Amino acid sequence: MTYRKTTLRRLPPVTRRYAKLLGELGSVLRKGKNLVEELSRVEFESQALAHAKEPEKVIFVLTKEDVVECAAEMGIPEAAITDDILQLVRKGVDSGLECWSDVVKEAINMALKS
Domain boundaries, the chain: 1-53, 62-114
The stretch 56-70 carries a mean pLDDT of 82
Instruction: Give the chain's end-to-end CA distance (angstroms, integer).
Output: 66
- Return the amino acid letter for 82: T
1: pLDDT strictly greater than 70: no
Residue-wise pLDDT for 68-107, tens only, equals 999 999 999 999 999 899 888 888 888 888 788 888 888 8
The stretch 110-114 carries a mean pLDDT of 87
16: pLDDT strictly greater than 80: yes
Instruction: Specify the pLDDT at position 77.
Output: 93
